[in-house]
């Protein structure tokens, strides 16, 4: 997603910054900008499009002797891709500029307050409030103004700040979004990841949450958000350029699995009010009457997107109490579907370009249904076909096997179901408040599961030679089993099938023997006891059980030693956390088998043909 770079030294700042931004291109972006200070004046250049197309504006026609500046590549979240919305953003007098990654959750409240105090806004972004907030606290000390400004801010941020009165320093600080400081010889750097600066220095300081730095040519002073000085040690980065592109991970898939806590923060960021129990889905474009008129919902998608829709069915039926049907887009489009003006069709797609899903959207519209797109890629074909949108804000997904987009789809569908349930008066506002709170702590709970990656790798190493796997789940986690099996088969080429655990007795149980590993999701839920009984049937037939269980579950101990524990969460949120160990398991099986995880055979990232 967005990338930041800051430079202070003795080279032309815009050239160094442009070079750094090109090395952040792999994160995906739709616009970019650079600001420098020259002769006590700020000069800014920004535009939409690829860096190679706007190089003329940012470098060739931007002759400046400045050797201090900041730059940014933006992946639009709040506000469409445009030159106005591109970073860096300035205050009223263009005295200072800010490049920001993350989401300011209370920006609407802050913007209203600042506007009433006379601040004039030039963009639709949440980030611009930061520039005005810092302006309102500035009295000659930039570091203090930044610290004071952030006291009002809720959300995630990594920021770099440039001020015309301070041509010898940059200020940066972070909370939740990553930020590093690179140490050079009479030059120093700020960047959202090391890729941007590796060609200049390998000596890097990783800022922790709530830590910042005043970065000068000849030194860096680190501080905490309370303004206290803090000592930080530099580390020497030993990456080759390809590893650097992947942020140090061996594959994009693994990097994307580890990005998931941040992806959830981005998907919910700025869309909820915990105090009021409200959810805002800005591009939904469904009116009250549209929502009340809906008698049926049909969800369509392909592959992983379809499985997220299967979770959506459980969510919407429980929270909104509208009947939901879930259909593969490739089936829906050819089966004369019964949809009409009282049907809401929800089409889910990461790429927004999947041919079958696009055809299903067109078919549904032809039959008079309203169509809502749950989409990742901005400006994709699907965004132009649908009546309303819920962007999932997963950022660019490069690994062919979808991981973070699935998590973002589930999070977006949860927000949608809570919102519709509240509007249709099915849900009590207190319930919605409670779920918003739980959603917000989910990223930390997922981080705890990610911390178990070595344990999951060890487990995976025991099953490298299995010929076939069975995945079992029930209720909300039946789709988790489907998605887990899909991940395993597409990257490890091991046959894997998923069943609703209650179906075992109706056929698949015949497959069980001591060579058949069975991966079961049996976390605490309304169907826990039922699932446990199904697993006892597997154990009685010598099947090798691997289970995903809730932390502290004592009952499972006598069934198997192969278990992965996950933190306890509400049943409606459990598919979001339970799929994480399954993604890691599939990843390690494939990697340990020596396979090309990011480019599995026969698969393409975006299936634009039938």
Residues that bind ligand F6R (CB under 6 A): 302-305, 349-351, 354, 357, 401-402, 486, 490, 606-607
Q: Which is nearer to ligand F6R, 486 or 520 (CB)?
A: 486
**Catalytic residue list contains 530:** no
Q: Is 51 in contact with 22 (CB distance < 8 Å)?
A: yes
Gap between the Cα atoms of 187 and 5, Å rounded:
13
Q: Which is nearer to ligand F6R, 42 or 377 (CB)?
A: 377
How far apart are CB 486 and ligand F6R at their closest, in Å? 6
Torsion sign (Cα): 122, 125, 129, 134: negative
Tokens 């981005």 sit on residue: 266
How far apart are CB 603 and ligand F6R at their closest, in Å? 8
Q: Which is nearer to ligand F6R, 190 or 382 (CB)?
A: 382
Q: Which is nearer to ligand F6R, 149 or 348 (CB)?
A: 348
Catalytic residue among 2, 302, 310, 326: 2
How far apart are CB 282 and ligand F6R at their closest, in Å? 21
Q: Is 309 in contact with 475 (CB distance < 8 Å)?
A: no
Count CB-CB contacts under 10 A for residue 239. Answer: 15
Q: What angle do CA 184, 186, 189 make, to 5 degrees?
A: 45
b/e burial code for range 8-46 (CB count within 10 A of at least 16 → b):
bbeebbbbbbbbbbbbbbbbbbbbbbbbbbbeeebbbbb
How far apart are CB 478 and ligand F6R at their closest, in Å? 17
CA distances 572 to 415, 422, 593, Å, are 11, 16, 34
Q: Which is nearer to ligand F6R, 9 or 303 (CB)?
A: 303
Gap between the Cα atoms of 576 and 570, Å rounded:
10
How far apart are CB 599 and ligand F6R at their closest, in Å? 12
How far apart are CB 23 and ligand F6R at their closest, in Å? 26
Which of these, 569, 590, 374, lies nearest to 477 by C-alpha position?
Answer: 569
The three-class DSSP label of residue 53 is helix
How far apart are CB 573 and ligand F6R at their closest, in Å? 21
**Catalytic residue list contains 605:** yes
Q: Which is nearer to ligand F6R, 511 or 595 (CB)?
A: 595
Q: Which is nearer to ligand F6R, 150 or 460 (CB)?
A: 460
Q: Which is nearer to ligand F6R, 417 or 597 (CB)?
A: 597
The long-range contacts involving 291-295, CB below 8 angstroms and separated by at least 24 positions, are: 291/420, 291/423, 291/424, 292/424, 293/341, 293/342, 294/322, 294/342, 294/343, 294/344, 294/370, 295/322, 295/323, 295/342, 295/343
The three-class DSSP label of residue 436 is helix
Catalytic residue among 378, 440, 457, 605: 605
How far apart are CB 238 and ligand F6R at their closest, in Å? 32
Which of these, 117, 140, 114, 142, lies nearest to 128 by C-alpha position?
Answer: 114
How far apart are CB 582 and ligand F6R at their closest, in Å? 12
How far apart are CB 247 and ligand F6R at their closest, in Å? 20
The three-class DSSP label of residue 171 is strand
The beta strand positions in 152-266, using DSSP E, are 155-163, 170-175, 180-183, 188-191, 203-206, 211-216, 219-224, 235-236
Q: Which is nearer to ligand F6R, 304 or 492 (CB)?
A: 304
Please identify the residue of the shown chain whose CB is closest to the bound ligand F6R: 303
Name residues whose C-beta falls within 8 Å of residue 414's C-beta, 6 or more positions apart in sequence: 315, 435, 439, 572, 573, 576
CA distances 506 to 164, 358, 513, 520, 586, Å, are 73, 36, 16, 17, 27
As given in the structure block, the two tokens for residue 159 are: 């920021």
The three-class DSSP label of residue 558 is helix
How far apart are CB 272 and ligand F6R at their closest, in Å? 24
Which of these, 355, 263, 338, lies nearest to 302 by C-alpha position?
Answer: 355
Name residues whose C-beta falls within 8 Å of residue 558's C-beta, 6 or more positions apart in sequence: none
| C-alpha torsion angle, residues 215, 17, 46, 404 (rounded to 10) | -90
Q: Which is nearer to ligand F6R, 305 or 460 (CB)?
A: 305
As given in the structure block, the two tokens for residue 172 are: 């940066």
How far apart are CB 232 and ligand F6R at their closest, in Å? 39
The three-class DSSP label of residue 546 is strand
Q: Which is nearer to ligand F6R, 127 or 583 (CB)?
A: 583
Q: Which is nearer to ligand F6R, 284 or 401 (CB)?
A: 401
Q: What is the DSSP string of 285-348?
A: ---HHHHHH--EEEEEE-HHHHHHHHHHHHHHHHHT---EEEEEHHHHTTS-----TTEEEEEE
Active site residues: 2, 605
């Amino acid at each position: 997603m967005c990338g930041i770079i800051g430079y202070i030294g003795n080279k032309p700042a815009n050239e160094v910054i442009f070079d750094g931004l090109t090395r952040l291109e792999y994160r995906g972006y739709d616009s970019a900008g650079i600001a420098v200070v020259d002769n006590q004046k700020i000069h800014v250049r920004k535009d939409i499009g690829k860096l190679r197309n706007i190089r003329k504006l940012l470098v060739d026609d931007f002759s400046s002797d400045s050797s201090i500046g900041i730059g940014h590549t933006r992946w639009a979240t709040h506000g469409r891709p445009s030159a106005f919305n591109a970073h860096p953003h300035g205050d009223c007098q263009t005295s200072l500029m800010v490049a920001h990654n993350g989401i300011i959750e209370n920006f609407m409240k802050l913007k209203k307050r600042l506007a009433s105090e006379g601040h004039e806004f030039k963009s639709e972004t949440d980030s611009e409030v930061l520039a005005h907030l810092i302006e309102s606290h500035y009295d000659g000390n930039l570091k203090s103004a930044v610290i004071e400004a952030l006291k009002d801010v809720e959300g995630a941020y990594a920021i770099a700040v440039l001020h015309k009165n301070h041509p010898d320093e940059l200020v940066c600080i972070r909370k939740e979004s990553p930020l590093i400081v690179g140490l050079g010889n009479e030059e120093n750097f700020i960047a959202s990841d090391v890729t941007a600066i590796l060609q200049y220095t390998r000596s890097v300081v990783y800022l922790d949450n709530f830590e910042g730095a005043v970065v000068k040519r000849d030194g860096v002073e680190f501080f905490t958000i309370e303004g206290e000085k803090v000592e930080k040690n530099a580390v020497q980065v030993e990456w080759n350029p390809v590893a650097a592109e992947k942020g140090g991970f061996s594959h994009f898939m693994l990097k994307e699995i580890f990005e998931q806590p941040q992806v959830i923060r981005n998907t919910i960021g700025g869309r909820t009010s915990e105090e009021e129990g409200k959810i805002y889905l800005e591009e939904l474009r469904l009116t009250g009457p549209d929502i009340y008129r809906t008698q049926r919902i049909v969800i369509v998608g392909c592959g992983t997107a379809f499985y997220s829709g299967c979770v959506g069915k459980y969510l919407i039926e429980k929270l909104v109490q509208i009947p939901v049907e879930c259909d593969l887009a490739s089936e829906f489009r050819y089966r004369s579907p019964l949809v009409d003006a009282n049907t809401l069709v929800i089409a889910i797609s990461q790429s927004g370009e999947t041919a079958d899903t696009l055809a299903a959207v067109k078919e549904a519209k032809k039959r008079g249904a309203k169509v809502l797109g749950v989409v990742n890629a901005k400006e994709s074909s699907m965004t132009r076909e649908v009546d309303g949108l819920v962007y999932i804000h997963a950022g660019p997904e490069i690994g062919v096997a979808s991981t973070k987009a699935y998590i973002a789809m589930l999070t977006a569908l949860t927000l949608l179901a809570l919102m519709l349930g509240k509007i249709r008066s099915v849900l009590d506002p207190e319930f919605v408040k409670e779920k918003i709170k739980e959603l917000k702590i989910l990223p930390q709970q997922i981080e705890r599961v990610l911390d178990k990656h070595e344990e999951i790798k060890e487990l995976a190493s025991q099953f490298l030679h299995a010929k076939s796997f069975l995945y079992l789940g029930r209720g909300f986690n039946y789709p988790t089993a489907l998605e887990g099996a899909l991940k395993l088969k597409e990257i490890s080429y091991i046959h894997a099938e998923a069943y609703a655990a209650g179906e075992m007795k109706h056929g698949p149980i015949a497959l069980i023997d001591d060579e058949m590993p069975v991966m079961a999701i049996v976390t605490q839920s309304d169907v826990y006891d039922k699932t446990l009984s199904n697993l006892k049937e597997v154990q009685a037939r010598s099947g090798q059980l691997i289970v995903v269980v809730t932390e502290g579950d004592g009952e499972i101990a006598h069934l198997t030693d192969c278990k992965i524990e996950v933190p306890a969460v509400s049943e409606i949120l459990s598919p979001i956390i339970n799929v994480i160990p399954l993604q890691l398991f599939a990843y390690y099986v494939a990697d340990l088998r020596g396979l090309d995880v990011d480019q599995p055979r026969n698969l393409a990232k975006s299936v634009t043909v039938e």
